[in-house]
A and B are shown apart, each in its own frame.
Chain A
Amino acid sequence: MPKITGIKTLTRTALRSILRNKSRGVLTSLGIIIGVTSVILLMSIGHGLQAYITDQFESLGSNVIIIMAGQVFDESGGLQQDERNFYAANNAIFKNKHLKDLRKINGVDFVAPIIFANTNISFGTKTVKVSALGSTATLADIRNLNPSNPQTQGRFFTSQEEAKNEAVVVLGSKTAEDLFGTLNPLGKKVKINSKRFTVVGTADSKGAGGGFGPNTDEQIYLPLEHGYDLAGSRDISTITIKAPNSDQVDFIKKEAEKILLKDFEKDSFSVFDQSQLLESINSILGILTIGLSGIAAISLVVGGIGIMNIMLVTVTERTREIGLRKALGATPNLILTQFLLESTILSLLGGAIGIGLGALGTLAIKQVFPAKINLDSVILSFSVAALVGIVFGVAPARRASRLSPIEALRYE
C-alpha cells in the first residue's frame, strides 16, 4: 500500500481532477445530494414529531396511571388493533367503591374518576358541542389543569365546590375562545343541558391531546355530581391515579390490578401509564421514520450508480494518463487508490451538500411542522454516502488499475 505522503498527494490529485470540472462534479453527486437531503429531512420530521408528542404527553401530567375498560394495548405492546376491544375502552364499568379501594394503595397521591358525556354548551346565541368531564378537584393536580395565570384564566373548581356540587365549570382553551371570542369568560354564565353554570376558569392550551384521545382544549370540566347527571349514570369510565414519583408507578399499577381483578376479568380492563402509551406511539413513529428513510436511501443507491457511470467515463477519458502513470512506476494498487479516492470524495462532497440542504430544509419545515435535526441522521447519511462512493467506485477503479500501460499509452 502507498505511504501516507502518497495518500496526501493522491487526495490532492483527486480533488484537483474533480475541481477541474465543477459542474460535472455537482451533477455526478446530484443523486447523493438528493438522497442525503431526503434522508435527513424525513428523519428530522420523524424525530421532531416524536419530541413533540413526548412534550405533549408530559404536559398532560407525569407519573399518571390510567385505568380504562377493555384492552387498550395488544399482546405485543402496540395500540389495540381489534376495534371491538378498542371501543370497549369507552365503556363505563367502574364503581365508586373501586375509587375508595384505589385511594387506600400505599403512596398514592391522588385518585380522580372521570365521567365522559357529550353535550352542548351555550353562551348568548352561541352553542358549541363539547365533551364534558365530570371529576374531582384533584384532577387539576393530576393533569396539570391549574391555569398558569389566575388573573386572566381564573382557577380550577375547588374541593369545596365539588362537595357542595356547585354549578361551576372550567373551559378548555378552544371552547372558551369559540364561545367568548375576545371577551373575558371569567364569571360569565353559560348554559349546559339547560342548567346555568358559572365559568371559574379556562385551562391552558394543551394542543391536540398528544395525538391520542380527544382534544383536551375542547373539553369542559365539571364537579363530579354534575358529570353523573349529564352521563345519566353513576358508572365511571376512566380512573386516573397520580403516583408521587416514577419509581412508584409500577408498584401502584400492580396494586390497582389486584384490586380490580376481584371484580373484573383480566381482559376487561387496562391499567397503563403514559410512558407505555408514549412508547407505543413512538415505536410506531420510529418504524414509520425508518421505513420512509429507507425509501429515501434508495436514491442514495441510484446516486451511487450515477457516480459509477461518470467514473467509468472518466477512466476512459484518462486512459493515456493512466498509461503514463503506470510507465512512471505507479503500481496497480496506487491507480486503484487514486480513482477510489476520487469517487469517495465525490460522494462525500455530495453528502456534505446534502447535509447542508437537509439542515436548511429542516429549519424551513420547523416554521409549520415539528422537525428536529439530529446527529444520528447526519452521521448515518454521511457514512452511507461514503460507503456508496467506495462501493460504486470499485468497478471503475479496478478497470483503471488493470489497464495495460502500452494499450493505455497508445490510446488516442
Chain B
Amino acid sequence: MSKKNGTEPILELVNTYKSYQMGETQVNALKNISLQIKKGDFISIVGPSGSGKSTLMHIIGLLDQPSSGQVFLKGRETQSLDEKALSRARNHSIGFIFQQFNLLPKTSARENVELPMLYAGLSQKEREKRATAILEKVALGDRLDHHPNQLSGGQQQRVAIARALVNDPEIILADEPTGNLDSRSGVEIVKLIKKINREGKTIVMVTHDQELAHRANRVITMIDGQINN
C-alpha cells in the first residue's frame, strides 16, 4: 500500500461505499471514503446523526462489509474473509467500547474481561491472571467480583475499556464512550482513553461532543456519508 512517513497503516479504507435498502429507497450511507489509520493515531469521528459515522465505525470494526471498495487490515484485504475469519480478526485486532457499556449482566467484572480471551482460546488460568492485571490497571482491582449492577457508570465503562484492551488489539474503537455518563465520570474516561493512546494504542472514537473530539490528534467530520475536509 501507499506508504506515508514510512509507516504502513494498520487499517486502510480505499474508495469505500456502503448503501442499503430501506423500504423503497436506497440509502447511500458512505460515499467514496478513503481513510488511513496509523499506529498511535487518536482519531475522532464527528458529524450530525445520519451522517454515516456509525456505518463507518462498523466497517472499521469489521462488523460490516462495504458495498464496494476495499478495507485492508494490516495490509490484508478483508473482503474475502468469512464470518469465522472476521470473528478472529475482531478478536485479535479490534477492541470495542460502547456507549451502553454492553457488559454481560450477572457476570463479574473479571469474567466480563475474560470474554475476549475465552474466544482467543486462552486457558482459564491465563485468563484470570490477565483479567486481574488489566482491571488493576484501570483502578478496579478491588472490584473484580462485582457484577455490573453493583458498579457505577464510570466503573462499568472502565471494565469495558479493560475488556477492549485485554487481547492487546491494534485498534480501540470507542462509540460515544461518554454518552451515558455524567460529566465528571466522562472526563475520567476521556483521561483514561488519552492515557491509553499515549501508551501507544491506536484509538478511533465517534462522538457528538466537539470539545471531546478535539482531544484527538485528528478530527474527521462526516457529512452526508462523506468526509468533509
Q: Mark A378-412, 1 if CB is under 8 A from B, else 0.
A: 00000000000000000000000000111001000
User: Given A327-B63, A327-B90, do A321 and B104 touch, yes or no (CB 8 Å)?
Assistant: yes
By beta carbon, the residue of chain B nearest A328 is B116
Stretch at the interface among B30-38, B80-88, B129-137, B192-200: B80-88
Determine the distance from Cα of A405 to Cα of B94 in the docked complex, in whole angstroms: 14
A325 within 8 A of B: yes
The answer, yes or no, to whether A331 is at the interface (CB within 8 Å) is yes
Q: B98 and A409: CB pair below 8 A? A: yes
Q: Which of A6, A324, A406, A409 contacts B104 (CB 8 A)?
A: A324
Q: Which residues of B contact A2 (CB under 8 A)?
A: 121
Q: B residues 55-101 with Cβ under 8 Å of A? A: 58, 61, 63-64, 83-84, 87-88, 90-92, 96, 98
- 0/1 string, A307-333, CB within 8 A of B gives 1: 000000000000011001111111111
Residues of A within 8 A of B115 (CB): 325, 328
A2 and B91 alpha carbons, distance in the complex (Å): 14
Residues of B within 8 A of A321 (CB): 104
A406 touches B90 (CB 8 A): no
Judge if B106 is at the interface, Cβ distance under 8 Å: yes
B88 close to A329 (CB less than 8 A): yes
- Does A409 contact B87, Cβ atoms closer than 8 Å? no
Q: How far is the CA of A208 from the CA of B16 in the complex (A)?
A: 88
Interface of chain A: mostly helix, strand, loop or mixed: helix
B interface size (C-beta, 8 A): 28
Within the complex, the shortest CB–CB distance from A407 to chain B, in Å, comes to 10
CB contact list, A1-28 vs B, under 8 A: 2-3, 5-6, 8-9, 16, 20
Across the interface, which residues of B come within 8 angstroms of A9, CB to CB? 118, 124
How far apart are the CA atoms of A28 and B121 in the complex, in Å? 32
CB proximity of A83 to chain B, nearest CB, Å = 70
Smallest CB gap from B167: residue in A: A329
User: Are A331 and B121 interface neighbours, CB within 8 A?
Assistant: no
A/B interface sample: 29 pairs, CB < 8 A: A3-B121, A5-B122, A5-B124, A9-B118, A9-B124, A20-B106, A320-B102, A321-B104, A324-B102, A325-B119, A326-B63, A326-B87, A327-B63, A327-B90, A328-B96, A328-B119, A329-B88, A329-B90, A329-B120, A330-B87, A331-B83, A331-B84, A331-B119, A332-B84, A334-B119, A406-B58, A406-B64, A409-B63, A409-B98
Chain A interface residues (CB < 8 Å from chain B) = 2-3, 5-6, 8-9, 16, 20, 320-321, 324-334, 404-406, 409
Other A-B pairs beyond A8-B124, A328-B119, A409-B98, 12, CB < 8 Å: A5-B123, A327-B61, A327-B90, A327-B96, A329-B87, A329-B92, A331-B83, A331-B87, A332-B87, A404-B64, A406-B58, A409-B102
